[in-house]
Amino acid sequence: MTIILKKPVQTNARKRRGLWHVSLLLIVIQLVLFITPASAATESNRQGSPLLSGFELVDERPVKDLNGIGKWYRHRKSGAQVFYLQNDDDNKVFSIGFRTPAPDDSGIPHIIEHSVFCGSRKYPVNDMLSQIQKGSVNTFANAFTTADKTFFPVASKNEKELRNLMDIYLDAVFHPNFYQSPEIFWQEGGHFELASPADEPVFNGIVYNEMKSHYTAVDNRLDRAILKSLFPDTPYERDAMGDPKEMPKLTRDKLLDYHRTYYHPSNSFIFLYGNLNIDDTLKFLDEEYLGDYDQRQINASIPLQRPFEKRRTVTGEYPLPNKAERDGNTYLSLNYGIDEPLSSQLIVTMTIVDRLLMGTATAPVKTTLLGSGIGKDSYSFLLADIQQPVYSIIAEKVRDDRIPFFESTVEKTLRNLVHQGIDREQLQTIIDTVEYEIRESQAGASRGLLYNQLVLNSWMNGGHPAALLEVGEALAKIKQGVSSGYFEQFIEEHLLNNPHSSLVTLKPDSAAEKEEPIKRSLSDSEKKILFRQQKELQDWQSKANSSESIPRLTLKEIDRQEQALPLEERTEAGVKVLFHRQFTNGIAYVDFYFDTQDVPQSQLPYLYLLAEMLGNVSTDHRNYRMMDQELHEHTGGLVVEPYVFSHYKKGELIAPKLLIGISAVADQLPAALELLGDMAGHSRFDDERRLQEILHQIRTHRESALYEGGESLALSRLQSFLSPAGRYEEQGGYSYSRFVMDADDHFDSKVSEIRRNLEQVAQRALNKDGLIVSVTSGETEYPLFQQSVGRLVSALNSQYFAPETYRFPKANKKEAFITASEVHVVAQGINYSGTGQQYNGHMEVLRNVLDHGYLWERLRMKGGAYDAFSQINDGGTILLGSVDDPNVKETIDVYAQTGEFLRRFQPDEQEMNSYIIGAIGVMDNLLEPWEKGRVAAAHYMRGIKQQDIQQIRDEILSTSPQDIRNFAPLLDTFRSAQNLTVVGNGEKIMQNQDCFDSVVDIFK
């Protein structure tokens, strides 16, 4: 799994949320297609071709869908394979992957994924990945462990930087320092810690903490149980990521043996993508790395699961604190291993079948489960990046008396579909949606990374690397099957009559809650050894960690000019339009920003509730099923969400909005906008049963999000102490969760109040007055918007309501939330508005210094937290936070010492430049076409001009060490910060009770 993710630029525009919009990455992960092992293809079919830097060309073919050419090479001496997908994309990608079957549950592949970045032969730097993030303009640098592979991708628009990163990555995977330094294994895999030689040792480690947090989430536990149940005879039975219970048993020798065996060029799969110099790249690979190795036979393939005679039944447990209700918290899943010879057609078919059964508000299996009271909600799981894909149908939070009906209800619904036939129109709509998503992904800003995954999934399983890149033909065949019973037959064969199947039951277990930290009873001399090792680790971690060896671009090689985002102001049908012209592959993204300043403060929770109701309730012209069906038919996704904008550099709240956004293939725009007009102008809230159903679903999601706790809860609470915008947004955060639970608990007595409030808020919010529309598309798609927007506008209410004034009293607080997690999020903040300090570009460099120069080392490397970060907001707030952190008090101390660290900040020139370049890298983050439109619109609303952004860039580029030291007094105020949010482990929170004004138990 991901080590760290590059943080998105702060734009005050949040992530797009869709009730059923599938993200690009998801689609591609789902659309992973396989071909049958083509052993012939791996042999050179061009024996006569000349060697190119030691590489022979195995195959070359056009990849029509992507407008590119696929070139497959084999390095003769080492056996390494390279696939180059050549096209004109400037965002170039390199990745190296290895097949890494899990030998046990101790997480070896995952720990190695982390450990290779703790220093290598050429780059003896403890935290290579952080050093890369700190000082480069890469668009992606990370690593992933999946059930059967580990891969290391990087991307950049700068070819020189891509080469630098390739060199770092290759040196890391082939020549890691963990052979020489046992400290790396202790830090990542884990070690026993003791405060003094007399103490009881307790286990701690970065990957260990990450997995403890991972295992807290029920859905992760369930995914694991599903794979275990379907593949008892293969490595998929085991957890490549690591089961925290098993991780302390791993020895370093075992880890080194594993690395020696699998991290060899003969087991490597190298992917190159985009507009780059391939001859030169192959020469580099051969001379610097691959030429040193001789080919070796490595068996890393995974056997197929032996057929089942009948469905397996498996029962497991997940931790749920004692206080929570036992009954009504069971998870059930019906799972199928899909064993037919694999093809692209099969996987696209599975995607469509999944949508059909579970993916929409009218999906038959989903609605039947809900209607029969089996669970509070249900979802599906489609895993298609392994040899035998898996499909699961899951019911959440099932009451004990409903458990026996789950399996038979699903099967009965499937049988009815097969016998009565599937609704043709609905099927066609789903196929259109899938086609739409493929089209959108082909214009995606980071499509090279998606192709990387598709290539690996086929290639590592013995297929042609390009086999999954083209889906056009498979789709054409599938469409022909709509009328000939193809889908009915598929369901009958692969679901109903498939013995490779399991029924997994996960019940809440209170015993798991009481689980102690893993301890060991040891003799005094053993303790002394551990204590010494712990000292060695601390010394190693605080050793001057020079990053001089890391190759960097120079400041001269950085673009000084800030790229302008496209924005033109227009007026259509009497409404202001912001048009963002760019290539979108024929898709139009249309965002309606409704002014909600006239919604009274007391009704703000209802504004958030309204956002979740729209599109899910009936209108004057359509019932909610038709609405859902037509949304799928005419759009590629819907998002409805309250947005708050604040003044640039001032922080005061301006312009609260309700965003209703859609994306659609341009010729669908007239129908899509008509639909949106109906939704915005004519939604009805008088169907009480429907209101209750939706409330139930919202509650379920909110509850699990709260139970699993974490970052978003901590940050939203903290922001609410710091700024008016934060206080506004909190109305949709924790307070809203409580509001929803209360509404659901007392639905019968409150229903008329809920209904009345929703109607009033809709009337005020969904109003023509103050409406701004933001359109992102090419010029050719625009006229279709122009022709149809008038009809939508005329459907809206035009009554005038006076704007409201919001008053949010300041409320600093030190607060803790107890969740099921065993680790913590620890966050603290300050507000610098009114101190004379103004936001500027030096602060962007400061953020980079805090993240990579201070917090990373103190909280991740020494403290064992999975991540640590700072957030600096132009409105006047600075936040420091840690994620999956085993500590509480120690972390607060680290925050308090931030100013002290800055006072002593003395980087050399190279180090300083890397902080500057990294800050520019964050500014130049890749944005999807729709994100560009949304960010440009946010800038418009907040009054941010192009010259403001250019100024920030100029200030970043001119930052000196003194500029950073000047922030020391500001950061000193963390010592007296009167706010604190901690989310996590109850025991530790109660031990530190004196740190908090209030402790909230999420389960009470």
Which residues bind to Zn ion, rule: CB under 5 A? 1, 210
Measure the CA–CA gap between 905 and 907, rounded to whole angstroms.
6
* Closer to Zn ion by Cβ: residue 210 or 437: 210
Q: How far is the CB of 380 from Zn ion (least distance, A)?
A: 26
Strands 191-193 and 330-337: unpaired
Measure the CA–CA gap between 644 and 11, rounded to whole angstroms.
11
Q: Which residues of 874-911 are buried (b: 16+ CB within 10 A; e: fewer)?
A: bbbbbbbbbbbbbbbeebbebbbebbebbbebeeeeeb
SS3 158: coil
Tokens matching residue 721: 């102490």
Q: How far is the CB of 2 from Zn ion (least distance, A)?
A: 6
Measure the CA–CA gap between 608 and 803, rounded to whole angstroms.
18
Q: How far is the CB of 3 from Zn ion (least distance, A)?
A: 6
How far from chain centre, in Å, is Cα 700?
21
- Give one DSSP letter per residue of 676-737, joined into a string: HHHHHHHB----HHHHHHHHHHHHHHHHHHHHH--HHHHHHHHHHHH-HHHHHHHTTTHHHH
Tokens matching residue 117: 């970045």
Q: Across the strands, what pairs with 317?
A: 507
* Closer to Zn ion by Cβ: residue 5 or 564: 5
* Closer to Zn ion by Cβ: residue 127 or 598: 127
Q: How far is the CB of 866 from Zn ion (least distance, A)?
A: 7
Residue 732 exposure: Cα atoms within 13 Å on the Cβ side: 18
Q: How far is the CB of 570 from Zn ion (least distance, A)?
A: 47
* Closer to Zn ion by Cβ: residue 258 or 643: 258
Q: How far is the CB of 376 from Zn ion (least distance, A)?
A: 31
What number of other Cβ atoms are within 10 A of residue 328's Cβ? 15
Q: How far is the CB of 112 from Zn ion (least distance, A)?
A: 11
* Closer to Zn ion by Cβ: residue 1 or 300: 1
* Closer to Zn ion by Cβ: residue 107 or 321: 107
Cβ pair 363, 357 in contact under 8 A = yes
* Closer to Zn ion by Cβ: residue 210 or 223: 210
Residue nearest to Zn ion as judged by C-beta position: 1
Q: How far is the CB of 495 from Zn ion (least distance, A)?
A: 34
Q: Which amino acid is at 819?
A: T
With DSSP H G I counted as helix, E B as strand and the rest as coil, what are the percentages for the chain, rounded to 5? 45, 20, 35
Measure the CA–CA gap between 718 and 825, rounded to whole angstroms.
12
Q: How far is the CB of 241 from Zn ion (least distance, A)?
A: 7
* Closer to Zn ion by Cβ: residue 33 or 211: 211
Torsion of CA 995, 191, 883, 815, to 10 degrees: -20
Tokens matching residue 356: 């059909």
Residues in the chain: 1004
* Closer to Zn ion by Cβ: residue 1 or 324: 1
Tokens matching residue 140: 């992606």
Q: How far is the CB of 890 from Zn ion (least distance, A)?
A: 22
Q: How far is the CB of 7 from Zn ion (least distance, A)?
A: 17
Least Cα distance to 1 among 97, 98, 110, 106 occurs for 110
> Is the four-CA dihedral 761, 762, 763, 768 of positive or negative sign?
positive
* Closer to Zn ion by Cβ: residue 1 or 298: 1
* Closer to Zn ion by Cβ: residue 209 or 774: 209
Q: How far is the CB of 175 from Zn ion (least distance, A)?
A: 21
> Is the four-CA dihedral 426, 427, 428, 430 of positive or negative sign?
positive
* Closer to Zn ion by Cβ: residue 210 or 396: 210
* Closer to Zn ion by Cβ: residue 150 or 344: 150
Q: How far is the CB of 93 from Zn ion (least distance, A)?
A: 21
* Closer to Zn ion by Cβ: residue 612 or 867: 867
Q: How far is the CB of 932 from Zn ion (least distance, A)?
A: 31
Residues in contact with 529: Cβ distance below 8 Å, sequence separation at least 6, in sequence order? none
* Closer to Zn ion by Cβ: residue 137 or 241: 241
Cβ pair 871, 883 in contact under 8 A = no
Q: What is the crossing angle of helices 278-288 and 159-174, to 10°? A: 30
Q: How far is the CB of 230 from Zn ion (least distance, A)?
A: 24
Cβ pair 373, 401 in contact under 8 A = no
Q: How far is the CB of 218 from Zn ion (least distance, A)?
A: 20
- Cα–Cα distances (Å) from 537 to 192, 198, 520, 532, 858, in that order, read 11, 19, 19, 9, 13
Cβ pair 28, 382 in contact under 8 A = no
Measure the CA–CA gap between 230 and 313, rounded to whole angstroms.
10
Q: How far is the CB of 707 from Zn ion (least distance, A)?
A: 22
Measure the CA–CA gap between 84 and 742, rounded to whole angstroms.
56
Q: How far is the CB of 143 from Zn ion (least distance, A)?
A: 8
* Closer to Zn ion by Cβ: residue 13 or 206: 206
* Closer to Zn ion by Cβ: residue 453 or 458: 453
* Closer to Zn ion by Cβ: residue 1 or 403: 1
Number of H helices, E strands in the chain: 36, 27
Phi, psi of 381, rounded to the nearest 5 degrees: -135, 120
Residues in contact with 632: Cβ distance below 8 Å, sequence separation at least 6, in sequence order? 20, 360, 429, 430, 432, 433
Residues in contact with 325: Cβ distance below 8 Å, sequence separation at least 6, in sequence order? none
